[in-house]
Chains A and B, each alone.
Chain A
Amino acid sequence: MGDFALEVEIDAGPGVTALFGRSGAGKSTIVNMLAGLVKPDRGTIRIGDAVLFDSARGIDLPPDRRHVGYVFQDARLFPHMSVERNLAYGMGRMDPAHRSPQFARVVEMLGLGALLKRRPGALSGGERQRVAIGRALLSNPRVLLMDEPLSSLDAQRKSEILPYVARLATDFAVPVIYVSHAVEEVVRLADTLVLVSGGQIAAIGAVEDVMGRLDLAPITGRYEAGAVLTPRVAGHVDEHRLTRLDLLGHAMFVPQVDLRHGETVRLRVRARDVSLALTPPQGTSILNILPATVRELDAGSGPHVEVALDIRPGHGELGAPQPLLARVTHKSMTDMKLEPGTPVHALIKAVAIDRHSLGGLGHGTQRKER
């Protein structure tokens, strides 16, 4: 372990809590401490009423008595056992009457039926990770830890597994702690975002709030910095292959996604894909024009200025303003006389919206990205 100082205080609720940060920030160490694989110097770890670790009282439950499901980055399936035996390995902790139906349910949900007799060596990376998720679920966990479960997979396999992960927390009523350094996974999955940096918690809160903060951009990655919006699906424009969204009473258009009318979408808009105008432009190819107010400006040493905006609700809308980030040049800031409180129009190209981050939040419905 060395002299790694890690000081965190996290209060994770139900749903998916994402630990997000760069490699080496201490994310994996945190989940290893939760699982009992790494011993903290001091502090307490609790799940509900169960105390797993308390240095002051000398409590340190071994990993096998913590009831913590762990999906590792490298799956860690037992190579000498069939998929079926891998899945059943941790079922001893389950009430015997529940074992068989729960096994059938997990196999069905993760689509493992055809794999049961195979050995892990004969599985693809995505299949292996699905088995690992099923194995952890079947160990009757009080919390499910997932340490970058998708990072070793290619984009194709990732999009194959993401929908399963998105449904876990609700379908199995188990809180999920999800470690990742991939912003699109976090945006897609997380309810609560914990930003980890240098062994410290830099920020904790709803994904939309944390991603929309200017001061955190250096940690979330300046080039990739972007805010997260949560509009609702308002309809599909089939002849243009677009989906119309409603954000605080404003219409937005994004490449068509297979989501139901009324479902809430979470989409990430990178700061570099947002332009600003003082008046709504006419005759433009840009489909998304949102009225906003400048909240904060951060002029670094370079030619760029990061602008934090609040999207104003439309007439008769009750929703709170949603944060948005824009990156403009220093020259534009001066020419437009931008300062906190300036009303502007934010322009977002529909084609610039990150398809990987487009995901529905309406839990429990089967969906597919196109």
Chain B
Amino acid sequence: MSGLLTPLEWEALVLSLKVAAWATAASLPVGVLTAWVLARTRFPGHALLNALVHIPLVVPPVVVGYALLLTLGRNGAVGGWLYDVFGVTLAFTWKGAAVAAAVMAFPLMVRAMRQSLDAQDAGLEAAARTLGAGRLRVFLTVTLPLMAPGVVTGAILAFARALGEFGATITFVSNIPGETQTLPLALYTFTQVPGGEDGALRLAVISVLVALAALMLSEALARRAGALTKGGDA
């Protein structure tokens, strides 16, 4: 495999996968919780929370990246605190790239999960409550297993979106080879130099193949999760 790819391509691919995997894994619990809150509860700030979750989908990614830089940068309110307390720097590191990717992919993840929650019969949760299960047990034994297909779909959609993240990433963590230069950023770099067309095309093909593989895996996993939660003999 490494023979097929140049060291630079290999580096960008591995970094992209690492960033996307961390972005997906770290936002998964938050995504499940947010989807549950949006689907199952009603409170005064409900519409506002829903809008906030969807913001990355509708504003230019550069704006999100800039907002991240202002808040999570070394001089930002949250970023300064993170550095002082934990010694963690997000700006201009691959961790920051993961944060940017997670924020941008978050709406897609939550939407997929919420759809599967909305399709789920809330009456099953009521039935579980009457059988003596508290909210947490109902969530763990009924809600979560039944929304599994949505969780899988949401996670893979988010992973694919994170792989392709560009605008927010380049704004927040810049384009540093080996640290923050993911596939799209490497591709962008090739298009900016004379004679970079071949390299750009190769990276484009790699990106498409990885995204295709992720989507097909998502379909297969969602179908399996669906079969497990629906009928048939045990």
A→B interface (CB under 8 Å): 35-37, 62-70, 72, 74, 76, 78-80, 82, 89-90, 92-93, 117-122, 135-136, 139
Contact = CB atoms under 8 A, between A and B. Distances in A.
A121 B130 contact: no
Q: Give the dominant DSSP class at A's interface.
A: loop
A76 B228 contact: no
Contacts of B142: 78
Contact of B127 (A36, A67, A70, A118): A70
A247 to B, nearest CB: 42
B229 interface: yes
B128 A89 contact: yes
B233 A118 contact: yes
B130 A69 contact: yes
B126 A63 contact: yes
14 contacts: A63-B126, A65-B132, A67-B132, A76-B121, A78-B141, A79-B124, A79-B231, A80-B229, A89-B128, A89-B131, A93-B132, A119-B232, A122-B232, A139-B131
B226 to A, nearest CB: 10
B42 interface: no
Contacts of A74: 123
A122 B127 contact: no
A72 B121 CA distance: 13
Given A79-B146, A80-B146, A35 B231 contact: no
Contacts of B58: none
A121 B230 contact: yes
B132 A139 contact: yes
A121 B232 contact: yes
Contacts of B234: 82, 117-119
A68 B145 contact: no
- Which of A72, A78, A92 has the largest count of B CB atoms less than 10 A from its CB? A78
Contact of A119 (B124, B130, B131, B233): B233
Contacts of B131: 64, 89-90, 135-136, 139
Given A79-B146, A117-B234, A139 B130 contact: yes
Interface in B90-107: none
A93 B131 CA distance: 9
A89 B134 CA distance: 12
A82 B228 CA distance: 11
Contact of B130 (A35, A92, A120): A35
A80 B145 contact: yes
A155 B114 CA distance: 39
Given A117-B234, A122-B233, A89 B228 contact: no
Contact of B231 (A89, A122, A139): A122
A66 B130 contact: yes
A63 B132 CA distance: 7
Given A76-B123, A78-B142, A79-B146, A63 B231 contact: no
Interface residues of B, number: 23
Contact of B132 (A64, A78, A82, A117): A64
A78 B230 contact: no
A122 B134 CA distance: 28
Interface of B: 121, 123-124, 126-134, 141-142, 145-146, 228-234
Contacts of A119: 231-234
- Which of A36, A64, A69 has the largest count of B CB atoms less than 10 A from its CB? A64
Contacts of A67: 132
A239 to B, nearest CB: 49
B233 A64 contact: no
B233 A72 contact: no
Contacts of A62: 129, 134
Contacts of B127: 70, 72, 76, 78
Contacts of B121: 76
Contact of A80 (B126, B129, B134, B228): B228
Contacts of A65: 132
Contacts of B231: 79, 119-122
B123 A72 contact: yes
Contact of A76 (B124, B132, B146, B230): B124
Contacts of B233: 117-119, 122
Contacts of A37: 126, 129-130
B195 to A, nearest CB: 57
Contacts of A69: 130
B224 to A, nearest CB: 13
A117 B230 CA distance: 15
B167 to A, nearest CB: 40
Contact of A79 (B129, B141, B229): B229
Given A35-B126, A89-B133, A92-B132, 20 more contacts: A35-B130, A37-B130, A62-B129, A65-B132, A67-B132, A74-B123, A76-B123, A76-B126, A78-B127, A78-B128, A78-B142, A80-B145, A80-B230, A89-B128, A90-B131, A90-B132, A117-B234, A118-B234, A119-B234, A139-B130
A195 to B, nearest CB: 26
B133 A68 contact: no
